[in-house]
Amino acid sequence: MLSVNINPDTAVQLIVGVGSTVLAVLLMLIKIPHSDYSSKLASSKLAIVVSFLICGYMMFYTMAQYGAAHIWDWELFTMLTIYIVVHFSTSIISYSMISLLKTEKHKRQNLFMPGLFMSAIIAFMLLESYKSGNMTYFWVMCVIALSTFLIQSVTYIVYFDRAYKQSLKDLENYYDDDEEHKLRWIRFCYVFSMLTNLFVLVYIGLYWLLDYKMEVAALYTFWYLLYMLYLSSNFISFLGSHKLILDAVAHNVLTGNIFPQRAQRSRKTEGPKLNMDKEFAKLDRNIEQWVADKRYCEYDNTRDQIASDLKTTKDILHLYFMTKMGIDFRTWRTGLRIEEAKRLLLENRDASINIVAEVSGFSDKSNFHRQFVKIVGCSPKQWRESDGNPDRI
């Protein structure tokens, strides 16, 4: 048990320590639905909980050391413990965010465990060097710690970027739609996390130039608490809509059913040669009915589901569009959606543009605006205001 000292000099540590511990407990109490992809969510949640608990422990540890004989500079010791929290957080939050994206679990573990072990070793040696009173030993450890922190941070950022791009590719292949917005919050949270963590370097660099060291430390720790609140709220919100994303991102590694392996594809092509003219003729009829029913306005359908609706396979569907239409299915469908949106904008002037976008098949409003401008040459608002004659504007 830690015997903490509660006084004005330790008030910030008390607030942040209690706050981070409460957030960790709340996250632990949230039950993740059992499913074939829930292990990724559970791993990510556990990592965030551990990060918050480490923050809480370090804050209470700092309070317990207040007034101790070996604490010869309380301001410097406070900065040191803040740095240790951030160093751990960089490894753990990186693991958490990558865990939501990367499909190869063993690679995540190979990245995470050495980083966490290194963070623990550096934290121990930093504290011991400080308590020893040997300034040469202490400053050497500071240089080693900061250098390691920079190397780890850059490594995590590069690895996250690769995992994010691969997940976007998986999402695109699975849903055959522009679904980047479904993963955008993860990237934004990670960027926010890394900026918050890396800012500690600015704090350390300016430490000896600051006249109000404890005030700056208090400001940074309060900001860190707000960051933890932001991360927690986004993660909890994600739990309510995780299936749509993790179907594509996680299902591949857990079931192997998203993308057929080469051997599977080769087996499918064996046997009598398909009569493509007959297949294409059947597709002509099915697509005509599909368009008449305005099925192109449906979103969040997988490629397999669309192919099934058209009574074909996604490979034949792709071949049909590239051979007969000269464009891919997504581009063709986007064109139909934009034509529908153009009609709705003029016929339903009281309907908001966001409603028109959703009814036309766009789940992401920014993507709708971008595609509309690209194809029509003006914004949806300009199209409506000009009665479908944007050249008059």
Query: What pLDDT, in 10s, does the model give residues 96-125?
Result: 888 777 654 445 456 677 888 888 999 999
Tens digit of each residue's pLDDT (9 = 90 or more) over 228-250: 998 888 888 776 655 444 444 43
- Flag whether pLDDT at 190 surpasses 50: yes
Alpha carbon distance, N-terminus to C-terminus of the chain: 73
Task: Report, as an integer, the average pLDDT of 288-305.
Answer: 84
If we measure between CA atoms, which residue out of 170, 190, 267 comes closest to residue 231? 190
- pTM (2 decimals)? 0.63
Q: Which residue has the higher pLDDT, 272 or 281?
A: 281
- Flag whether pLDDT at 177 surpasses 50: yes
Q: Please report, rounded to a whole number, the percentage of residues in the chain having pLDDT higher than 90.
A: 13
pLDDT given for residue 237 in this prediction: 77
If we measure between CA atoms, which residue out of 118, 61, 126 comes closest to residue 94? 118
- What domains lie within the chain, and their CATH numbers? 8-255 (1.20.1070), 262-392 (1.10.10.60)
The CA–CA distances, whole Å, from 146 to 82, 87, 92, 151, 217 equal 13, 9, 17, 9, 18
Alpha-carbon distance of 49 to 95, in angstroms, equals: 12
The DSSP call for residue 30 is: P
Question: Which tokens belong to 128?
Answer: 């011991």
- Flag whether pLDDT at 184 surpasses 60: yes
The DSSP call for residue 377 is: S
Alpha-carbon distance of 3 to 157, in angstroms, equals: 38
Question: Which tokens belong to 78?
Answer: 């406070």
